[in-house]
Amino acid sequence: MPVLDFINFPADLKQRTVAELETLAIEIRDTILQVTSKNGGHLSSNLGIVELTIALHYAFNTPHDKIIWDVSHQCYAHKILTGRKNLIYTLRQNDGCLGFTSRSESEYDVFGAGHAGTAISAALGIAAARDRLKTDEKVIAVVGDASFSNGLSLEALNNVATCTKNLIIILNDNKMSISGNVGSLTNHLNSLIQKRTYNNFRKYFKKHLLRIPRVGQRIYDLVNRIEDGIKSMIVPGAFFENLGLRYIGPVDGHNIAGLVDTFSKIKEFDTPVLLHILTGKGKGYKPAEMYPDKYHGLGKFDPSTGEVIKKSEQSKSFSEAFGHSAVLLAEKHSNVVAITAAMCSGTGLNQFSRQFPDRFFDVGINEGHGMVFAAGLAVNGLRPIYAVYATFLQRAMSSLYHDICLQNLPVIICADRTGIVDDGPTHHGIYDLSYLRALPNLSIIYPSTENEMNLFLDMAYKAASPVVIKYPKASLIKYPFENNPVEYSWGKSITLKEGKDISIWTTGIEFSTALEVSHILSAHNIDAEIVNCIFIKPFDSDKLISTASTKLIVTVEDNSLIGGLASIVDEILINCKNCGTMHFGWPDKIIPHGTVKGIKSREGITPETIAEKILKKIKSK
């Protein structure tokens, strides 16, 4: 019988031998592989952290002891071990298991996450509250190496020593960048540092040395410098030691017995500790071990081959179209450069990075820095294209205003994955339009086709001010009249379909929803006009006012109704007498995870529901 059958909660781990725990790790990996192959999700990072997760829940008393996962996309093993081994099969499905930690899902999920760099700050706050309340729980932050370069992580590290004397930070290093430091001398020193006798002697030595008149402090400082010097030559932890953390590592992150032993020792320390652990991304699954980035986050795939299962005749995605357009623009203009925040592949910039390596910059998971960096490039004559996920763009809001809009710098910001996505509320891109609209000097464009992506990127290049181009995580679709010429003018909308009874205004690919609505309405003798708001800012106010005088205005958008297209229309028509409006978009609440289709159905944003409500409105007149 599988070991996993006997494991429902962390307490069950403590009844198992190390050999059984090692078998359990294999079984958990098989479960993760099975689930992600059917539902999609984050694979490489979850395969790499299985032993660490088992050891944490074995050595610590969760949920009394608090584990905070940075980003938390690597939480699948954690969920399996904390009462959700059956729920995990509904990963990322409607009303199923969220792919990130969530306080509403389990008491073991101490802190919700989805973005990078939050774990140390959150853990530090929890630890400081514990100290004030005089409780005894251990607090552990688990942070990946990429998140350690995030500004929030560095700010929190700088604050640790002044806030608490008892915090464990685990650096999960899965890049193996310093594997050469793992040797007998390092292992011996780490073993010595962890021993209680060594730490007790340090306290005793310091206490009595400082009692020596006049020279005690100087002798202690000298000995301390010698100790630090020896450690820094052998162990790469001087940076953390200077911040007031005891550094231990690197430690093998796949050795359960070794991890449990290390945890058992460091949880007795009365000082903040940074434990450096080495893990292999994608461990146990050859395709993910060979290409960890490819299997970081993906859709359904064949676990026997690793091949991603594509939808039949799947067309090019908006991200791919953007990447191609960016290359074309760079080929025409030598001052074009591209920036990404650790999302080169996801944003479609792989081709650009290969073709123009000296014009491509990856700033890591530091969206705010990327924004100011782009401003600096623009000040000195370059034309930066900054590709960033919409959900992460909100992390750079201050920099966008202060460093780009305020100085009116010609930076092109390409916001990928706008709208609802299947990763859940931490990743929905449904709020960016609402806050971007308020920024002066900023133009906002919604391309709906590949041709428009090419055209608007070129128009944005020619603009003398900042421009945001927004597009979803979706495949490209075509206008019903794709072969007919369309005239585009800055700040003007386009009419996709004429209609005499009502006018449906949309953004992005929601024009396809509007077309379906119009087909349903036509069966009821309602002739609907469809207007695509390519430019959100500046907005085609004249056309809206003219249309609203004779027709009911209906808006359909993949954005929050507050601050989105609905708000724009109401603001413009506020003084328009006898103007009727209806709005369809995301309400003022947290939109849960699920498939995009399932979420829209649940919230009533489908062509059928929209058409039904429009008919009801018309009949009530």
Residues 498 and 466 in one domain: no
Output the pLDDT for position 438.
95
Q: Could you tell me what percent of the chain has a pLDDT over 70? A: 88
CB under 8 Å to 160, separation ≥6 — which residues?
120, 124, 167, 169, 243, 244, 245, 272
Check residue 186 and give its pLDDT.
42
| Residue 226 within a domain | no
Q: Is the model more confident about 185 or about 38?
A: 38
Residue 544 lies in a domain: yes
pLDDT score for 482:
59
The answer to the question of residue 116 being in a domain is: yes
Q: Are residues 165 and 263 in the same domain?
A: yes
Q: Is residue 525 part of a domain?
A: yes
Do 279 and 391 belong together in one domain?
Answer: no
On the 0-12 / 13-18 / 19+ scale of CB atoms within 10 A, 273 is: buried
Domain at 33, CATH number: 3.40.50.970
**CA–CA separation, 449 vs 475, rounded Å?**
10
Residue 376 within a domain? yes
CA distance 486 to 511: 15
Q: Are residues 456 and 335 in the same domain?
A: yes
Same domain, 345 and 421: yes
Same domain, 512 and 370: no
Same domain, 439 and 504: no
Rounded mean pLDDT, 576-600 = 91
Q: Are residues 279 and 164 part of one domain? A: yes
The pLDDT tens digits of the residues spanning 476-523 come to 888 876 556 778 999 999 999 999 999 999 999 999 999 999 999 999
What's the pLDDT score for residue 211? 64
Residues 468 and 507 both lie in one domain: no
Please count the structural domains in the chain: 3
Q: What is the pLDDT of residue 550?
A: 86
- pLDDT at site 147: 87
Question: In terms of domains, do 406 and 336 share one?
Answer: yes
Q: What is the mean pLDDT of residues 585-595?
A: 93
Residue range(s) defining the domain that contains residue 102: 3-178+243-287
- Domain-located, residue 206: no
Residues 10 and 92 in one domain: yes
Domain CATH for 597 = 3.40.50.920
pLDDT of residue 230 exceeding 90, the answer is no
Q: Rounded CA gap, 8 and 540, in Å? A: 58
Answer yes or no: is pLDDT of 223 > 70.
Answer: no
* pLDDT band per the 50, 70, 90 thresholds, residue 213: low
pLDDT in tens, 385-428: 999 999 999 999 999 999 999 999 999 999 999 999 988 899 99
Tokens representing residue 288 in the block? 């993910």
pLDDT confidence tier of residue 64, bands split at 50, 70 and 90: very high
pLDDT band at 183 (very low <50, low <70, confident <90, very high): very low
What are the CA-CA distances from residue 607 to residues 512, 520, 610 (Å)? 9, 8, 5
pLDDT of residue 440 exceeding 90: yes
Position 215 in a domain = no
Q: In this structure, are 281 and 374 located in the same domain?
A: no
Distance CA 245, CA 271 (A): 7
Positions marked active-site: 281, 367, 395
- Please indicate, yes or no, if residue 193 is contained in any of the structural domains: no
